[in-house]
Protein backbone atom coordinates (compact mmCIF):
# COMPACT_ATOMS: atom_id res chain seq x y z
CA UNK A 1 0.00 0.00 0.00
CA UNK A 2 1.39 3.36 -0.95
CA UNK A 3 0.58 5.16 2.24
CA UNK A 4 3.41 7.62 2.33
CA UNK A 5 1.21 10.71 2.51
CA UNK A 6 -1.01 9.36 5.26
CA UNK A 7 1.90 8.02 7.19
CA UNK A 8 4.03 11.10 7.01
CA UNK A 9 1.10 12.96 8.43
CA UNK A 10 0.54 10.46 11.25
CA UNK A 11 4.17 10.24 12.19
CA UNK A 12 4.75 13.94 12.15
CA UNK A 13 1.70 14.57 14.24
CA UNK A 14 2.62 11.96 16.80
CA UNK A 15 6.15 13.23 16.96
CA UNK A 16 5.12 16.83 16.82
CA UNK A 17 7.88 17.27 14.26
CA UNK A 18 5.68 19.56 12.24
CA UNK A 19 3.77 21.46 14.83
CA UNK A 20 1.98 23.17 11.96
CA UNK A 21 -0.09 20.14 11.10
CA UNK A 22 -0.21 18.92 14.66
CA UNK A 23 -2.72 21.49 15.75
CA UNK A 24 -4.60 21.47 12.50
CA UNK A 25 -5.15 17.75 12.60
CA UNK A 26 -5.99 17.32 16.25
CA UNK A 27 -8.29 20.21 15.64
CA UNK A 28 -10.29 18.10 13.28
CA UNK A 29 -11.33 15.50 15.81
CA UNK A 30 -15.10 15.35 16.23
CA UNK A 31 -16.41 17.48 19.04
CA UNK A 32 -19.68 18.74 20.45
CA UNK A 33 -20.64 22.18 19.16
CA UNK A 34 -21.54 24.98 21.59
CA UNK A 35 -22.09 28.70 21.28
CA UNK A 36 -18.43 29.08 20.29
CA UNK A 37 -19.64 28.11 16.85
CA UNK A 38 -21.78 31.24 16.86
CA UNK A 39 -18.78 33.45 17.64
CA UNK A 40 -16.81 31.88 14.80
CA UNK A 41 -19.76 32.25 12.49
CA UNK A 42 -19.93 35.97 13.27
CA UNK A 43 -16.21 36.40 12.56
CA UNK A 44 -15.39 38.85 9.84
CA UNK A 45 -13.18 37.02 7.33
CA UNK A 46 -11.56 40.34 6.50
CA UNK A 47 -10.08 40.46 10.00
CA UNK A 48 -8.42 37.08 9.44
CA UNK A 49 -7.21 38.21 6.03
CA UNK A 50 -5.71 41.46 7.35
CA UNK A 51 -3.88 39.57 10.09
CA UNK A 52 -2.71 36.96 7.59
CA UNK A 53 -1.35 39.66 5.30
CA UNK A 54 0.94 40.95 8.04
CA UNK A 55 2.18 37.41 8.69
CA UNK A 56 2.63 36.70 4.96
CA UNK A 57 2.88 40.03 3.12
CA UNK A 58 3.47 40.91 -0.51
CA UNK A 59 7.13 40.50 -1.39
CA UNK A 60 8.89 41.22 -4.69
CA UNK A 61 8.65 37.57 -5.75
CA UNK A 62 5.05 36.81 -4.83
CA UNK A 63 1.77 38.35 -3.66
CA UNK A 64 0.83 37.99 0.02
CA UNK A 65 -2.05 36.47 1.94
CA UNK A 66 -4.55 39.22 1.10
CA UNK A 67 -4.09 38.85 -2.63
CA UNK A 68 -4.33 35.09 -2.12
CA UNK A 69 -7.79 35.77 -0.62
CA UNK A 70 -7.22 33.58 2.41
CA UNK A 71 -9.89 35.18 4.63
CA UNK A 72 -12.96 33.23 3.60
CA UNK A 73 -11.00 30.00 3.47
CA UNK A 74 -9.54 30.52 6.95
CA UNK A 75 -13.00 31.10 8.31
CA UNK A 76 -14.31 27.99 6.55
CA UNK A 77 -11.55 25.83 8.02
CA UNK A 78 -12.10 27.32 11.45
CA UNK A 79 -15.79 26.54 11.19
CA UNK A 80 -15.68 23.14 9.53
CA UNK A 81 -12.42 21.58 10.65
CA UNK A 82 -11.37 23.01 14.01
CA UNK A 83 -12.38 21.40 17.26
CA UNK A 84 -14.32 23.37 19.79
CA UNK A 85 -11.27 24.04 21.99
CA UNK A 86 -9.36 25.56 19.11
CA UNK A 87 -12.37 27.54 17.99
CA UNK A 88 -12.68 28.87 21.51
CA UNK A 89 -9.01 29.86 21.72
CA UNK A 90 -9.31 31.64 18.38
CA UNK A 91 -12.54 33.41 19.24
CA UNK A 92 -11.20 34.64 22.58
CA UNK A 93 -7.84 35.59 21.12
CA UNK A 94 -9.26 37.62 18.28
CA UNK A 95 -11.58 39.38 20.70
CA UNK A 96 -8.60 40.22 22.86
CA UNK A 97 -6.76 41.53 19.80
CA UNK A 98 -9.64 43.86 18.95
CA UNK A 99 -9.74 45.12 22.52
CA UNK A 100 -6.01 45.84 22.48
CA UNK A 101 -6.35 47.75 19.21
CA UNK A 102 -9.21 49.84 20.56
CA UNK A 103 -7.28 50.61 23.73
CA UNK A 104 -4.08 51.57 21.96
CA UNK A 105 -5.30 53.02 18.69
CA UNK A 106 -9.02 53.67 19.29
CA UNK A 107 -10.01 51.56 16.32
CA UNK A 108 -10.38 47.94 15.25
CA UNK A 109 -7.49 46.00 13.70
CA UNK A 110 -8.79 46.28 10.15
CA UNK A 111 -8.73 50.09 10.30
CA UNK A 112 -5.18 50.38 11.69
CA UNK A 113 -2.41 51.88 9.59
CA UNK A 114 -0.02 49.29 8.10
CA UNK A 115 2.77 50.09 10.58
CA UNK A 116 0.33 49.89 13.51
CA UNK A 117 -0.84 46.50 12.34
CA UNK A 118 2.71 45.27 12.07
CA UNK A 119 3.75 46.69 15.41
CA UNK A 120 0.74 45.12 17.15
CA UNK A 121 1.22 41.65 15.69
CA UNK A 122 5.00 41.61 16.13
CA UNK A 123 4.41 42.20 19.83
CA UNK A 124 1.80 39.46 20.06
CA UNK A 125 4.03 37.11 18.09
CA UNK A 126 6.82 37.58 20.62
CA UNK A 127 4.39 37.01 23.47
CA UNK A 128 3.14 33.87 21.80
CA UNK A 129 6.68 32.53 21.32
CA UNK A 130 7.45 33.11 25.00
CA UNK A 131 4.20 31.47 25.98
CA UNK A 132 4.89 28.40 23.81
CA UNK A 133 8.39 28.02 25.24
CA UNK A 134 7.01 27.61 28.74
CA UNK A 135 3.83 25.80 27.85
CA UNK A 136 3.13 22.56 29.69
CA UNK A 137 1.98 19.52 27.78
CA UNK A 138 -1.79 19.24 27.43
CA UNK A 139 -2.39 22.94 27.99
CA UNK A 140 -3.89 25.03 25.19
CA UNK A 141 -1.74 26.72 22.56
CA UNK A 142 -1.54 30.50 22.28
CA UNK A 143 -4.15 31.80 19.87
CA UNK A 144 -1.54 33.52 17.74
CA UNK A 145 0.26 30.22 17.27
CA UNK A 146 -2.98 28.90 15.81
CA UNK A 147 -3.45 32.02 13.71
CA UNK A 148 0.02 31.60 12.20
CA UNK A 149 -0.55 27.94 11.43
CA UNK A 150 -3.93 28.54 9.89
CA UNK A 151 -2.50 31.41 7.86
CA UNK A 152 0.36 29.28 6.64
CA UNK A 153 -1.93 26.44 5.64
CA UNK A 154 -4.38 28.77 3.90
CA UNK A 155 -1.70 30.69 2.03
CA UNK A 156 0.49 27.83 0.85
CA UNK A 157 -2.53 25.82 -0.27
CA UNK A 158 -4.00 28.76 -2.21
CA UNK A 159 -3.48 29.21 -5.92
CA UNK A 160 -1.14 32.16 -5.39
CA UNK A 161 0.77 30.45 -2.59
CA UNK A 162 1.11 27.25 -4.57
CA UNK A 163 2.06 28.74 -7.90
CA UNK A 164 3.86 31.98 -6.93
CA UNK A 165 5.42 31.48 -3.50
CA UNK A 166 6.35 27.88 -4.33
CA UNK A 167 7.27 26.02 -7.49
CA UNK A 168 4.40 24.08 -8.98
CA UNK A 169 4.04 21.78 -11.94
CA UNK A 170 0.81 19.76 -11.95
CA UNK A 171 2.13 17.42 -14.63
CA UNK A 172 5.84 16.86 -13.99
CA UNK A 173 5.99 14.10 -16.67
CA UNK A 174 9.24 12.73 -15.23
CA UNK A 175 10.79 12.03 -11.86
CA UNK A 176 14.45 12.88 -11.29
CA UNK A 177 15.77 11.63 -8.00
CA UNK A 178 18.84 13.82 -7.67
CA UNK A 179 18.64 17.43 -8.74
CA UNK A 180 21.06 20.08 -7.47
CA UNK A 181 19.58 22.59 -5.04
CA UNK A 182 20.91 26.09 -4.55
CA UNK A 183 20.25 27.82 -1.23
CA UNK A 184 17.26 30.12 -1.46
CA UNK A 185 15.44 28.23 -4.22
CA UNK A 186 11.76 27.66 -3.58
CA UNK A 187 10.28 24.37 -2.47
CA UNK A 188 8.13 22.32 -4.82
CA UNK A 189 4.46 22.49 -3.91
Partner 1 sequence: MESYDAIVIGSGISGGWAAKELCEKGLKTLVLERGRNIEHLKDYPTALKEPWEFEHRNFLPQKVRKANPLISKAAGYNEDTAHFFIQDKDHPYVQEKPFDWIRGYQVGGKSLIWGRACQRWSDFEFTAPARFGYGIDWPIRYNDVAPWYSHVEKFIGVCGNKDGIASMPDGEFLPPLDFNCVEKHLQQKFLEHYKNRYLVQGRWAQLSEPQAIHLEQGRGRCQRRNLCMRGCPYGGYFSSVTSTLPWAHKTGNLSIRPFSVVHSILYDEQKGKASGVRVIDTNTKEVIEYQARIIFVNASALNSNLILLNSISHRFPQGLGNDNGLLGKFIGFHIYRGYINAAVPGFEDQYYYGKNPTEPILANFRNLGKQDTDYLGGFTTFMGAYRPRTEEVGDAVEIGADFKKALSQPAGWRVYMYMQGETMPKESNHVSLSKDQKDQWGIPLLVTSVDYDDNDEKMVKDFLTQGKEMLEKAGCVDVQTYDNKQAPGLDIHEMGGCRMGKDPKTSLLNEWNQLHACNNVFVTDGACMTSTGNQSPSLLYMALTARAANYAVEKLKRNNL
Of residues 2-41, which lie at the interface with partner 1 (CB under 8 A)? Answer: 2-8, 10-12, 14-15, 17-21, 24, 28-31
- By rule CB under 8 A, what string of x and - marks binding of each residue 57-86 to partner 1? x-x--x-x--------x--xx--xxxx---
What does the DSSP 8-state code read for residue 164?
I
Q: Give the span between the Cα atoms of 42 and 18, in whole angstroms.
A: 30
DSSP states of 134-171 as a string? TPPTTSPPPHHHHHHHHHHHHHHTSHHIIIIISB--S-
Paired strand residues for 62:
59
Number of residues that bind partner 1 (CB under 8 A): 74
Residue 110 interacts with partner 1 (CB under 8 A)?
A: no
Residue 103 interacts with partner 1 (CB under 8 A)?
A: no
- Is the C-alpha dihedral spanning 66, 105, 96, 148 positive or negative? positive
Residue length, the chain? Answer: 189
Q: How far is the CB of 167 from partner 1 (least distance, A)?
A: 9
Residue (136 or 172) nearer to partner 1, CB: 172
Residue (102 or 129) nearer to partner 1, CB: 129
Indicate which single residue of 106, 115, 133, 136 sits in contact with partner 1 (rule: CB under 8 A). 133
Q: How far is the CB of 186 from partner 1 (least distance, A)?
A: 5
Paired strand residues for 70:
none
Residue 159 interacts with partner 1 (CB under 8 A)?
A: yes
**Phi, psi angle pair for 172, to nearest 5°:** -65, -25
Strand, coil or helix: 3: coil
Amino acid sequence: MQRREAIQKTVLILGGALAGTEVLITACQPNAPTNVAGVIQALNPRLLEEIADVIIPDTPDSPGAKKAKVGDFMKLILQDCYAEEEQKIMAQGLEELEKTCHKEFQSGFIELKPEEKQQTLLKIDREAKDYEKNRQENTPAHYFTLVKRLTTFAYFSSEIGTTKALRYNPIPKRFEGCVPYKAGEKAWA
